[in-house]
Amino acid sequence: MFRIAICDDEPAVCSQIETILLNYSEESNLDIEIQVFYSGEELCKFLEDGEGFDLIFLDIELKLINGIEVGRKIREDLDNQLMQIVYISGKDNYYLDMFEVRPMHFLPKPIKASHIIKDLRLAMKLTDRLGGIFTYKKGQQTYRIAVKDIIYFESINRQVKIVTTGGEELFYGKLNDVYDQVAKYHFMQIHKSYIVNYHHIAKFKYEEVTMSNSEILPISQSRRKAIRELQIRYEREGVI
Amino acid sequence: MQLSLYEWVFIITDIFGTYTVYKFMTVFFETRDTHRKVELLSYIGYFLVISVIYLSVNIPIVLMIANIITLIGLTYNYQSTFKKRVLAVVFMYLIFMSVEIIVGLITGYFNFPLFSQNNYSSIFGLISFRIISYVLVLVFNNFANIKRGEKVPNSYWLSIFLIPATSLYVILLLFQAKGLSISQVIASVILFFAVNFAAFQLYDAIAAAISEKMESRLVMEQNKYYNRQLELMKASLETTKAIRHDLKNHMASISTLVKSNEKEQTLQYISNILEHFATERNYASSGNIIVDSIINFKFQEAEQRGIKTTLDLNIPENLGVSSIDMTIILGNLLDNAIEASSKVEENPYINVKLKYDKGRLFLQVANPYAGELIEKSGKFITTKADKDNHGIGLESVKKVIQKYSGTMSVDYDDNIFSVVILMYLN
C-alpha cells in the first residue's frame, strides 16, 4: 500500500490531482491510498497523531500554516526524513529556504498529469528501494533493522556501529560484509570506516556529508571522485 | 663512495632547489591534475635523479638534458597544454642557468668545459645560487596571469619561445668562445637575463589581454541574453496590463452568462481564458535572472529552428554561481544541443533539467543527434561538417565546473546525447 496525501486550499486542485492519481493507479494496477487535506493545520494534526505518508503533494501558498512550515514540521519536529514531498506552487520562483526541507520536486500550476505521474513513479521507486531489511548477528541472536531507518555504519576496531533514526547498536563484524549486504539500497562507502545511507544525507560537499541527524562525516580523499561519479549515476537513474 | 663536503652541501641545497622548482611550477600552473602523493613522489624522484647524475656523471650537457627532461615530466602533475609545458621548462631552466653562471663567474672559479667532467666547487657559490633562485621565484610569482592560462595563439607562443631558446644556445656558445674576458661574459649573461625577464613580462601581459578579451566576449553574450529577457518581461507586463483591462469585461460576460443559467457556455468561456494563461508559460521564470535569461534566449532560438524544448527547473532564485560561470556552462551546453539536434530530421528536441538538491546543483541536457560521434581526448566531434564547432565549449565548461569541485558526465547511447553536471554549492 502506497500512501499519498494531497494538501491544497483549492478543492479543485486537490480533486484534479486525485483524479489523475486514481486513473493512473487503476490503469497500472497500483495499490495506493489517497487522503485529501484542505489546510496545513488539518494535515499537521493528522501527522502529529502518528499517521504517515509515503508521498505528499503539498501546496506552498497555504493560509495560516504554509507548505514550507508543514515541510519543516515533517523534517524537524517529526524527524521524518523519508516522506517524499512534492511542492505545488502558483508562482514559479523558489527561494533557498524551500530547498532546506529537501523536497523531491516542485510542480508549477497549472498541474500537468504527466508530471504528477512521473513524481508518483519516482516516489514509489524510492520507497521500494528503502523497503529492505538489514540483518546482523549478536551472540546467537539475529537482529533485523529496516534499511530506511539506518543512517550510517561505522567501523570501530573489530566492531560495527549502526546509527539509526532510533539510536545506536554495536556488533562484531566487518564493514566489507555490511557493504555487500546494503550496496543495492544505495549505500555509499565514503571512507574506510563509514558507509552511509544515500537517502539520509542532508547536505553534500566535495569533502564531507552532513547526515539527517546533523552528524558530519568525512569523504576520504581517495574516494571523492568515485563518490561524485556515483551521485551522477544515481541522478541519471532518477534516484534523486 | 665517499662524499666530499661540497657534495654533501650540494645534496642538502638541492632539496631546497627542488622546492624552488615546485614554487616555479606554481608560477605557470594553477590546477593539479594528479594526487597530492603522486606530486610529492615525483618531486622526490626529480631530486634523486638530479643528485645521482650530478654525483656520478657530472657533465654539464648531460645534467642539462636530464634537467629539461625531468622538469617536463614534473609539469605533467598539472593541467596544461604541451606548448605551455615546453615554454615553462625552457624559461625555468634558462633562469636557473643564468643565475648559476653569474654566481659562478662572480665567485671567480668558473671553468665550464661543456662536454667533460666539471669540478668547480664553491660552497659559497652553491648556497648563494639556491638563495638567489628562490628570491627570483618569489618575484615571478607576482605574475598572476600566466597560470590562468588562456590559450595563447601559436604565432605568439613561437615568438615568446624563441627568446629563451635562443638565449640558451647563445649562452652556451659564449663559453666556447675564446678571447672574451670574464667581465664580458658576465655582462652578456646579465643582459640575456634581462631580455628574458622582459619577455616573461610580455608573456604575462599577453595572457592578461587574452583573458580580458575572452571575458568581454562573455559579457557581450550575457548582454544579449539579458536584452532578450528584458523584452520578455516587458511583453509579460503588457499582457498583465491587458488582462487587468479585460478583467472587467470578462467578469461582466461571465456574470451575464451565469444570470441566464448558461452553465456550459460559462465553463467554455472560463476554460478559454485559462487556456490563454497556460499557453503563455513555455519559458523559464525561476527568478534566477541569469538562468532564465540564457534558457529563454536559447529556447527561442531552438524553437525557431523547429526544435521542441522541455524544461524542468527546480532551483532557488539565488544559487551562488556567478553569472559568467553560468553563461559559460549553460550557454555552451545549449549551443551544442541546438547544433546537434537541428541536424536530426525526425522529432528534434532538447530536454533541460536544473535541480538544486542538498547543497548540489545538477544540470542535465539531453538531445538526439545524427551521425557518428567521435570522442577525441575528452572532446566530442560529430562526423558531420562542423568539426570545428562541436565540442569546443566542453573544455571551458569543464574548467568552470572544477571551480565548484564538480564533474561532468557524458553519455551517448541510442543516438541520444546527454550531459549531466554536478557542482557543489557551499
Per-residue pLDDT reduced to its tens digit, B318-344 = 888 888 888 889 988 998 899 888 888
Residue B272 has pLDDT above 60, yes or no: yes
Question: What's the confidence (pLDDT) of residue B404?
Answer: 93
Q: Per the CB < 8 Å rule, is A228 touching B407?
A: yes
CA of A97 to nearest chain B CA: how many angstroms apart?
A: 8
pLDDT, residue A156, reads 93
Q: Nearest Cα to A70, choosing from A7, A27, A14, A133?
A: A7
Burial of B304 (0-12, 13-18, 19+ CB in 10 A): exposed
Write the residue in B278, B317, B359 that is nearest to A205 by C-beta. B359
A203 min Cα distance to partner chain B (Å): 4
pLDDT of residue B150: 58
Contacts of B305 (CB under 8 A, 6+ apart): B338, B342, B348
Cis geometry, peptide bond prior to residue B164 (ω within 30 degrees of 0): no
Block residue for cell numbers 554561481: B321
B285/A92 touch (CB, cutoff 8 Å), yes or no: yes
Q: Which has the minimum average pLDDT: A38-42, B61-65, B70-74?
A: B61-65
Per cent of chain B over pLDDT 90 is 14
Average pLDDT in chain B: 81
Q: Is the pLDDT of residue B388 over 50?
A: no
Q: Are A96 and B362 a contacting pair at CB < 8 A?
A: no
**Contacting A residues, span 89-128, partner chain B, CB-CB under 8 Å:** 92-96, 98-99, 102, 105-106, 108, 110
Whole-angstrom Cα distance, residue B174 to residue B188?
Answer: 9
The residue count of chain B comes to: 426
- B15: cell is 632539496
pLDDT of B59: 81
Residues 6+ apart with CB under 8 A from A84: A54, A55, A56, A104, A122, A123, A126, A127
Residue with the larger pLDDT of the pair A46 and B226: A46
Is there a contact between A236 and B411 if contact means CB atoms under 8 Å apart? yes
How many other CB atoms sit within 10 Å of the CB of residue A181? 17
pLDDT band at A116; cut points 50, 70, 90 = very high
Model pLDDT, residue B374: 61
Distance CA B62, CA B68 (A): 10
Nine cell digits for residue B384 = 558531420
pLDDT confidence of residue B348: 92
Q: What's the mean pLDDT in A173-190?
A: 91
Question: With an 8 Å Cβ cutoff, is A12 touching chain B?
Answer: no
pLDDT for the residue numbered B390: 46
Question: Would you say residue B200 has pLDDT above 60?
Answer: yes
pLDDT above 50: residue B174: yes
pLDDT for res B213: 83
What's the pTM? 0.70
pLDDT at B118 over 60: no
SS (H, E, C) A16-69: HHHHHHHHHHHHHCCCEEEEEECCHHHHHHHHHCCCCCCEEEEECCCCCCCHHH
Give the ipTM: 0.83
- Which residues of chain A have a CB within 8 Å of the CB of B315? 94
List C-alpha distances in Å: B211 to B88, B146, B207, B297, B335.
19, 10, 6, 25, 22
C-alpha A119/C-alpha A139 separation (Å) is 44
* Mean pLDDT in residue range A114-143: 87
Query: Which range among A15-24, A135-144, B165-174 shows the weakest confidence by mean pLDDT?
Result: B165-174
User: Rounded mean pLDDT of chain A?
Assistant: 90
The answer to whether the CB atoms of B317 and A94 lie below 8 A apart is yes
Domains and CATH numbers, chain B: 5-215 (no CATH), 286-426 (3.30.565.10)
Give the mean pLDDT of A161-188.
91
Question: Is A106's CB within 8 Å of B318's CB?
Answer: no
Top-confidence residue, A183 or B282: A183
Residues B191-208, mean pLDDT to the nearest whole number: 83
Across residues A111-126, what is the average pLDDT? Answer: 89
- Name which of B288, B289, B358 to mutate to probe chain A: the one with the most chain A Cβ atoms within 10 A of its Cβ: B358
How big is the CA angle at B334 (ends B328 and B338), to the nearest 5 degrees? 145
Share of chain A above pLDDT 90, in %: 54
Interface size A-B, in CB pairs within 8 Å, comes to: 71
**Of the partner residues B35, B418, B424, the one whose CB lies closest to the CB of residue A204:** B424
User: Is the confidence at residue B195, as pLDDT, over 50?
Assistant: yes
Q: What domains, with CATH codes, occur in chain A?
A: 2-126 (3.40.50.2300), 133-236 (2.40.50.1020)
User: With bands split at pLDDT 50, 70 and 90, how would you rate the model's confidence at B190?
Assistant: confident
Using N-to-C axis directions, what is the helix angle for B392-403 and B332-341, rounded to 10°? 150
- Record the cell numbers describing residue A195, joined without a space: 558507509
Using an 8 Å CB-CB cutoff, list chain A residues near B287: 92-94
Look at residue A159 and tell me whether its pLDDT is greater than 80.
Answer: yes
pLDDT higher than 90, residue B394: no
pLDDT of residue B378: 52
